[in-house]
Structures are given as structure tokens and as C-alpha cells.
Structure 1
Amino acid sequence: MAGNNFGEVFRVTTWGESHGPAVGAVIDGAIPGIEISAADIQKELDRRRPGQNTVSTPREESDTVEILSGVFEGKTTGTPISLLIRNSDQHPADYDKLRDTPRPGHADFGYTEKYGIRDHRGGGRSSGRETAGRVAAGAVAKKILTEFGIDVVCHVTKIGSVWADTNVLSQLSFDEIKENIEKNPVRCADLNAAALMEKEVEEAKAAGDSVGGIVEGLIRGVPAGLGEPVFDKLDADLAKAIMSIGAVKGFEIGDGFAAAEFTGSVFNDAFEIKDGKIQTTTNHAGGILGGISTGNVIRFRAAIKPTPSVSISQKTVNSAEMKETEISISGRHDPVIAPRFVPVGEATAAIVVLDHLMRNQALHLSIQK
């Protein structure tokens, strides 16, 4: 199976299935000499971990990370870092009846058509459990980025019909957003909207249904000049990486689709000189122009679909008997994915930015030579 790795210089491969013995990641290209510990990685995995509250799946996984290689005496060695996260709370029997019955909204049908075989236990490789590996790898990327003054945060701006108040968000600093999202289970920086979002999730859960959402990502401290034209543009790689997360169905940079409503004279980010530096007066482009970072905060949004596993009866087929049937999905599932997407989105964005930062460093070294 191809397509399990990402990056050119800082390269990440994730592996494992939802109900297999373990999931994990291998990182190749990490800068040597960076202080990193299992506790640093565990902090991020705990943010993603299932079973934290009523708006996440009740599956109980400790998600305890084991560092198998690439770290010696608390520092990266520059050799591949192998990270292992064992699965401990598997209930594969919950999925036995789904062996020949593709679940609506899942990747079951596509995997069977492509490979002729699939792991039906919780979706196998297509399960959201894959993201544990990328969060572990992203924790390493985030730690390295802090050495360069770069920070990433994602926060929920919409769940179901409830939007965060843009006026409230605009008054919050980057650090205040990071602080607020850990104060509520839906990870919304607007605390009043968070309460309404939580109510909407609980209502959907009680009805045996689920809801979708929108998550915004902010990356500060990125220097101008990151990005590789034409096909490896920074925003193109961000889009690919974020869209590789299973629940994502939409992506935009800066003002995104709203740009279609502007005139050029309004949308363009005018340049000015402030404190001896060139910068823009606005940031409609979201910190990236021509695929290259401008030095502004990079801003993106991802649309997260409702959890496809719902207990409400849905139409499907039995592929072995070639008969139409109905299905009601049991087991343990998130009534909303967006809050748990937050650490996943941060990790994924960090991997992309670090890879481009390291590519840029290599370019500048070659120019100096």
C-alpha cells in the first residue's frame, strides 16, 4: 500500500490499523541535538486520546508512546525516530457483521474495490486511529519548530449550526486562543459559543446521530520565503496534508472561498514598512502568496464531516449475497470529530512547515556555497 508517508526532508511514515496490535510512526530527517522526551510526545497524544469526555468516543486507550529509536540521552540523534503506540481497548467483534456490508460514509467500499481485501475491524488502516501516529510525529515537529520561534494552534469555529463569534475571536491573542480551547470539551476559543456547541453535540448523540464542524488553524512565526513553486507550494502541501486526514471534506487558506466576493483592490494585501520591515496591512491571503510564505500568520480552515458511524438505520448492501439491506452501527464512536481534530490538525501542519523550513535551509546553504 503506497501513500503512507509525507515530506521531503522531514519525512513521516505512519503505520498500523485500528484494531491491530499497535499504531505508530517513523520519522526520518529530524534535526539532531533537539531535546525530546516521551513526555513531550505524550502531552500531544493525551489531547487526542479517546474517552476524554462526553463529546468523544468512549473507547478507552491510554495511547502511551514508546520511543524505540532515534533518541539518546534525551536528544534526537539524527537517525530515524520510531514511535510505537499499542492498542489496548479493541472490540473487533463489534465489527464482525460488517465484513461484507460497507458502511455509508466510510472507506469500506473503496478499499474493497481497490485492494480486493480489507480489514473490516473499525476500518483498519482507514480508521481515524491512524492519526495517533501523526500526532506523535507532529509532537516532534512542534518541538523542533519551537527552536525557530514557530507555533501552531487549531481551534473549533463551528459545530453543527453554532458558529463562534468572529468579533470575540478577533479580540483574542494567539496565546489566549491556545488557553481557551483547553477550557471546554469542544475546543472552541469563544467560551459562550462552546457551551451552545456542546449542547448541539449532546442532542445529536441522544438521537443516535452526529454533527460536523469547522476548524481554523493558525501558524505564527513562519518566516517569509517558505514554499517550493510550482507543485510544492506551501499552501498546496498544507492542503494535501490536511485533506489526508480522513474526516476532512473541505480546505481553504486565508479568506478562502469568500475571496470570490471581493474586488481585487479590496482583497489584495497592500505592503507597508513598519519598524524597518516590509509587511502587509491586511492578511486576506492567509500568510501565503504564490505558494510562498509572506511572514504573516498562516491561517487555514478545514471542514470536518459528521462522524459517519451512527446508530440511525441507513441503507446499504450485503456484497457477499448481493442484496440490499439496512444497517445500524453499534460500537463506540465520536458524536463529533472536530474537537479531536484540533491536535491532529496542529501536528499535520507542523510537519508540513518543518519540512519546508528544512528545505529552505538546505537551499540557503547551497546559495552560500
Structure 2
Amino acid sequence: MSHWTSSLENVLSLLIQPLEWVMLIAVLGGGFFLFFHSRGVPLLKFKMAFQLLFQKEKNKGISRFQALSAVLAATVGLGNISGVAIAIHMGGPGVLVWMWLTALIGMVIKFYSCTLAVQLRQFENNGEPLGGPMYYMEMGIKKWGKPLAVWFSIAGLFGVLPAFTANQLTQTFINVVQPDTFFLLGAFQWKFIMGFLLSVASSFVIFGGLKSIVRVTSNLVPAMVGLYFLMGIFILFSNSEQVFPTFKLIFTEALNFKTAVTGGFWGLVILGVRRAVFSNESGVGNAPMYHGQSQSTRGTDEGLVAMLGPFFDTVLVCSITGLIVIISGAYLLPNLNGIVLTLEAFRRLFFGIGDQLLLLMVFVLTLSIL
């Protein structure tokens, strides 16, 4: 099994490497184009975005707050908790700077994509809105819109597969609970059981439709993000003397042209962009699907609210994770990676029980994502 898995990883690595440059050009190139086209105006409307987030609406659909919560459920999760740890493990502390810069560009991308999702959408007979990239592609690009919408839908089926999420939760469960001490079944059997239980639990939410999903996530996600944020702030405050040196290390390593990362300096940049996109899903197309079904009648208002997603997700949550992982020194351990690395960092810095609290948060966020 391990030989087969290793072979599959090698094949996928060969396929992905040339596509990383395509992603870099598409995300950063497209993002910079939108930034200069808008003259950075969306980023200057930060205060208005927060005001719109809590503004009451009376139209059909889901609220802006629910839409943003659903998007954050899909982004503020393992991309922030384990994805950042993977990035630091592979590229060092400097990768955080490129994640932050990509997040700013991602905010502009989110603004435009979610604005279009409201301005160019369709409605069911009962008045329920239907929005997303496939709709505004078809309606906004007359000649090539339909083929692009079909291609996006097919690619999206593979892009949103929850295998990574389920695997990381299972790994968290096995490392923290150590179920073999109670019932000696083996790692594979426990992974199978966890996968089955997650499928059953997720089905109750999924069969309830999108409104069921956003109702659950709008309640659970803010609480879990708040708990994670408070834990992170407490840890950083308790280790305040190390925060400034850590930031200095991050910015110094970000411009390290002699980095040992595969591909050198540009390999480091690609790694930061890749992890930022995985973290906040800017340009992936998930966010417009949620925001396209919101109550908003003005696309720009919805775009401003959607723009907050990358800020909460990457600028705040990813930064907390990254700082904790670096301060703990756990990223220097060669045998730790992904969620296991983050668990070790929280265990070291939060009274020895940080990994257990993290398990609870990962479980709730994973259920929301699935």
C-alpha cells in the first residue's frame, strides 16, 4: 500500500509542477490586473465592508453574514491549521510574507468574483437566487461562456474533493486520542471508521440543502474561529518577547535568495501563493456560489463583504498559526508535518492540552467543510 501511495504521489508531483507556474501567473497576474483596474478602491472600503456585513436585509436567500460564514467554514479550517504548517515546514518562516501578499490580491479577486455572482445570476420559479462562476460566465461571456462554465463545473468536482480534510482530521484524532490504546484495530481500520462516521454526519447536513449548511456553519464557525483566535492571542501574549524576533525572521527569510526550497526564491514564492490560495480559495470559485445566493441586490455590496474572507482567513488566522508554529520551534523537527506539526506547537505552548482543544476545533470545522 505504501509503495503504491508513494508512486501515485510521484506521478501527481510531476503533473503539478509545471501547472504551478500557470497558477502563479493566473492568480497574481489576474489579481494585479484587477487591483490596478480598480485602483485599489475595494481595499479602501474596509470599514464599509464591516458595516454591510451586519446590515439587515429583507430579500429572499441567505444573509451576507451567513454567506461569509459558509465561505469561512470552507476556508478557515485545515488550510489555516495544517496548510500553514506544511508551508513553513517546506519553505521556512519567510513563506508567510508571500501568503500575506497573495491574500491582499485575493481580496480584490473575491470582490470582483462575488460582485459578478450577484449582478449576473438566475432565479428559480419561487424566487430563490442561483449564482456562481458558471452562471456569470455563461451570461457575461456570450461566445465562450457556456464552454467555460462547463469546464469550470467539471474541474470544480475535483477541486473541492474533501479527501485532504477528512485525512487531516483522522490524523488529528489518531495522534491526540490514540484510539489503539483502547481498541487495538490499527491505523487503517480507524481511518475507515472515521471516514464512515464523517460520511453519515455530513449526509444529515447535505441533504438539508444549502440553507441547512449555512444555518449550521453560521452558528458553529464564528464560535470555533473565536476560540482559535483567543487561544492564539493568549499564546502570543504569553510569549510576547519572541513575537518581534519572529516577525524579523519571517521578513528576513522571505527575501532569502539562497533558500533551500526546491526552485530557489521563486519556488518559495510559488509555495506561498499555493498555500494562500488553498487557504482562502481566492479564484477557486466556491465563494461566488455562496454569495451568489445571498439576499443582496447590489453586487458591489456583496463583493465588499466577500472581500473580508481572505483577511480573516489568511491575514489573521494563518498569521496566528504561523507565529505559534515558529515560536514553538516545532517546525524544525524533520519528522513532523501538517496537522501533526500544529498539534505539537499548540501542545508545547498551551499547558500541554492545546492539541486536545485543537482536535475539537478541527472536528467542527471539518464537519462544516464536508
What is the TM-score of this pair, normalised by structure 1? Answer: 0.27
Higher relative contact order, structure no. (Cα contacts within 8 Å, ≥ 6 residues apart) = 2
TM normalised by structure 2 equals 0.27
Tell me which protein shows more helix as a share of its residues: 2
Higher strand share: 1
